[in-house]
Amino acid sequence: MKNNMLDFKDYIVFFIYFVIVSGYGLYIYYKKKSATSDSKDYFLAEGSLTWWAIGASLIASNISAEQFIGMSGSGFKMGLAIAAYEWMAAITLIVVAVFFMPVYLKNKIFTMPQFLNQRYNGTVSMIMAIFWLMLYIGVNLMSILYLGAVAIAGISGLNIGLCIVLLSMFAIVITLGGMKVIGYTDVIQVFVLVIGGLVATYLAIDLISDGKGIFNGFSNLHQGASEHFDMIFSKDNANYIELPGLSVLLGGMWIANLSYWGCNQYITQRALGASLPTARNGLLFAAFLKLLMPIIVVIPGIAVYYIIKKDIGAISPEQLLTSSGAQDPNKAYPALLTLLPVGLKGLSFAALTAAIVASLAGKANSIATIFTLDIYQKAIDAKASEKKLVNVGKLTVIIAMFLGTALALWVGDALMGEGKQGFQFIQEYSGLFTPGIFAMFLLGFFWKKTTSTAALFATIGGFAFAVFLKFLPELVDLSFLSAINFAVANSKGIYIIPFMDQMLFVFLFCVVGMVIISKIQHSKRAEEKGLEIDASMFKTNKTFAIGALIVIVVVTALYSIYW
């Protein structure tokens, strides 16, 4: 078994990374210091991010511990099918660039609660602002910190609790500089993330190749772990509950992705301060980067599965066990990193840290933006100066990070430890809210008759129905749904609805309910509050269209090969 402790040279590599990121962040901050007293510039970097900075920042904020650790763990357990979240996201980014972004920018939307206030009313906006804060802190910050600490502890040998605290402190330093600092330092973070991730993948494939090169190594991996190269699961697959067959292509995956990439302050915030061509090009760049991500975050997990299955000896099964003896997929990637030689281990350590810190910084900035602009300025101090709003945002960052750290230390292990898949935990619990949010945004965009009452129904009713479906199998035998592939028996023999199908059902429930409520209210002459939309907004230039077509063709080819 390899020593998982970092060498002094590894710490030097990591220190160089830390100095470069922090130094560049300080340079950007002081170069534009006069602008940071303006709240729009601080929270959104209005008009100052280039397309490549927007694309890089999107990926840096998205790719974090939940991918490096959680998705690699799912690759170890389920195989390439988990890459659907990445490859389907590439197409989703194209859809958001073409249809969502023009609506936001044309109507001068800077935050998601602002959209809800402008399209519906202040009540809907305030409820959702509070909800987003709870979700971002209670699920996202907490999970990123915990899974990130698992990774850092696995490669460094440091205590997990200490890693949580150190990650939180580093993220605060980056976040306090505002969106401009986050956006431009994310370019460095993505570069380190990709290079470090590719190094780890190369090492794994080379180890499997028996010294005959990476192409032979990938061939060995594909043949020796062929059961881990199915993109679409049949119902008898043990992982069908997590990725239920064609629902990945035709059902709930679209709802999860469109909501995440199109209706999520954490993500859209990067492009909301840019012009439409710049925003679209940034999203297209992010789509191309998404095509590469499974090589970095899924293939390593499959490689660890192969190494243990073939008993190569480089990684022992004991390295993936918890203290209670349960197999923990989240330890697959850290186990792989222990094989790296001195220096490269430090680079991968830096890559992991880059992914985690960039994601934490982006999430904390979004929390500060929503609280400051949508709660504090509207409900607490409407006359606050620009400087005060920026200071409130900075204080919010510190408080949010403290709460996320406390939750990670308190319940992180209970929710994501002991063999649980961290990535699936995040998707499932976010999925309780996602369908209602997406229904509310989608109808709000494109159907002027959608009313505020209907939006409230989607928000509250959608969540209630999602919870109902989650616990329904404990009350009712759902085996009759198995015949149409909408229920599958779990390890206890209880037939449950896969959470991806649950999202589809809840979404349809919300849409039907919203349409009925809106039509009833309009029969009573309720007021229409549509957004400014015209067909010309959705036209794209030739370069974007060609790039989008390439992305779609590549994803189609990948699914055709690994169906």
pLDDT of residue 530: 62
SS3 489: strand
Superfamily of domain 41-230+263-424: Sodium/glucose cotransporter (1.20.1730.10)
- Residue 1 pLDDT > 50, yes or no? no
pTM of the prediction? 0.80
pLDDT of residue 392: 87
Residue written as token pair 């779609």:
552
What CA–CA distance (Å, rounded) separates 251 from 245? 10
Pick from 501, 445, 552: which is nearest to 253 by CA? 501
> What does the chain come to in residues?
563
pLDDT of residue 516: 93
Q: What is the percent of the chain with per-residue pLDDT over 90, rounded to a whole number?
A: 9
Report the sign of the C-alpha dihedral through residues 306, 308, 312, 313, in that order: positive
What Cα–Cα distance (Å) separates residue 90 from each residue in 97, 196, 198, 201, 285?
A: 11, 22, 19, 21, 10
Domain ranges in the chain are 41-230+263-424
- Tokens standing for residue 431: 């999925």
> CB–CB of 248/92 below 8 Å?
no
| Residues forming beta bridges with residue 321, ordered by sequence position | 327
Per-residue confidence band for 554, with pLDDT thresholds at 50, 70 and 90: very high
End-to-end Cα, the chain, rounded Å: 36
pLDDT of residue 2: 47
What CA–CA distance (Å, rounded) separates 176 from 405? 17
Q: Please state, rounded to an integer, the average pLDDT across all residues of the chain.
A: 80
- Tokens standing for residue 19: 């100095």
Per-residue confidence band for 147, with pLDDT thresholds at 50, 70 and 90: confident
Q: What amino acid is encoded at 333 in this protein? A: Y
pLDDT of residue 403: 92
- CA torsion angle 400 374 465 413 (round to 10): -10
Of 314-318, 420-424, 453-457, which has the strongest mean pLDDT?
453-457
490 versus 249: the higher-pLDDT residue is 249
What CA–CA distance (Å, rounded) separates 320 from 317? 6
**260-295 pLDDT tens trace:** 888 877 677 667 767 888 889 989 999 998 998 898
| Residues forming beta bridges with residue 489, ordered by sequence position | 495
- Residue 552 pLDDT > 70, yes or no? yes
pLDDT of residue 167: 86
- Residue 461 pLDDT > 70, yes or no? yes
What CA–CA distance (Å, rounded) separates 486 from 502? 9
Lowest mean pLDDT among 89-93, 117-121, 412-416: 412-416
Question: Three-state secondary structure along 74-112?
Answer: HHHHCCHHHHHHHHHHHHHHHHHHHHHHHHHHHCCCCCH
**What average pLDDT does this structure show over 113-139?**
84
The runs of H, that is alpha helices, within 370-421 are 386-416
pLDDT of residue 35: 46
**What average pLDDT does this structure show over 215-244?**
84
- CA torsion angle 114 120 124 126 (round to 10): 30
What Cα–Cα distance (Å) separates residue 381 from each residue in 132, 357, 511?
A: 21, 31, 36
**22-41 pLDDT tens trace:** 777 777 767 655 544 555 55
Question: Three-state secondary structure along 312-369?
Answer: CCCCCHHHHECCCCCECHHHHHHHHHCCCCCCHHHHHHHHHHHHHHHHHHHHHHHHHH
- Tokens standing for residue 365: 């900035």
Name every residue whose Cβ is closer than 8 Å to that of residue 348 and which is 6 or more positions away in sequence: 155, 196, 197, 199, 200, 337, 340
Pick from 497, 500, 553, 80: which is nearest to 248 by CA? 500
**What average pLDDT does this structure show over 429-456?**
86
**What average pLDDT does this structure show over 93-99?**
91
**479-538 pLDDT tens trace:** 887 777 777 777 777 888 888 888 889 999 999 999 999 988 875 544 556 667 777 788
Pick from 475, 481, 474: which is nearest to 497 by CA? 481
What Cα–Cα distance (Å) separates residue 529 from each residue in 3, 394, 451, 532?
A: 62, 34, 8, 10
> CB–CB of 93/286 below 8 Å?
yes
SS3 480: helix
- Residue 311 pLDDT > 50, yes or no? yes
Per-residue confidence band for 182, with pLDDT thresholds at 50, 70 and 90: low
pLDDT of residue 548: 93
- Tokens standing for residue 40: 């729009």
**189-222 pLDDT tens trace:** 677 777 777 887 888 888 888 778 888 888 888 8
- Count how many Cα atoms sit within 13 Å of the Cα of residue 162 in the half-sphere of its side chain: 7
**What average pLDDT does this structure show over 55-84?**
80
> CB–CB of 350/199 below 8 Å?
no
**153-180 pLDDT tens trace:** 767 777 888 888 988 888 887 777 666 6
**374-408 pLDDT tens trace:** 888 888 887 878 788 888 888 988 999 899 999 88
What CA–CA distance (Å, rounded) separates 62 from 204? 24
What CA–CA distance (Å, rounded) separates 218 from 196? 19
57 versus 377: the higher-pLDDT residue is 377
Q: What is the percent of the chain with per-residue pLDDT over 70, rounded to a whole number?
A: 85
Packing angle of the helix pair 499-522, 434-446 (nearest 10 deg): 40
> CB–CB of 96/538 below 8 Å?
no
pLDDT of residue 319: 72
Burial 401-433, CB ≥16 within 10 A → b, else e: bebbbebbbeebeebbbebbbbbbbbbbbbbbb
What CA–CA distance (Å, rounded) separates 505 from 431? 11
424 versus 539: the higher-pLDDT residue is 539
What CA–CA distance (Å, rounded) separates 24 from 12? 18
pLDDT of residue 65: 64
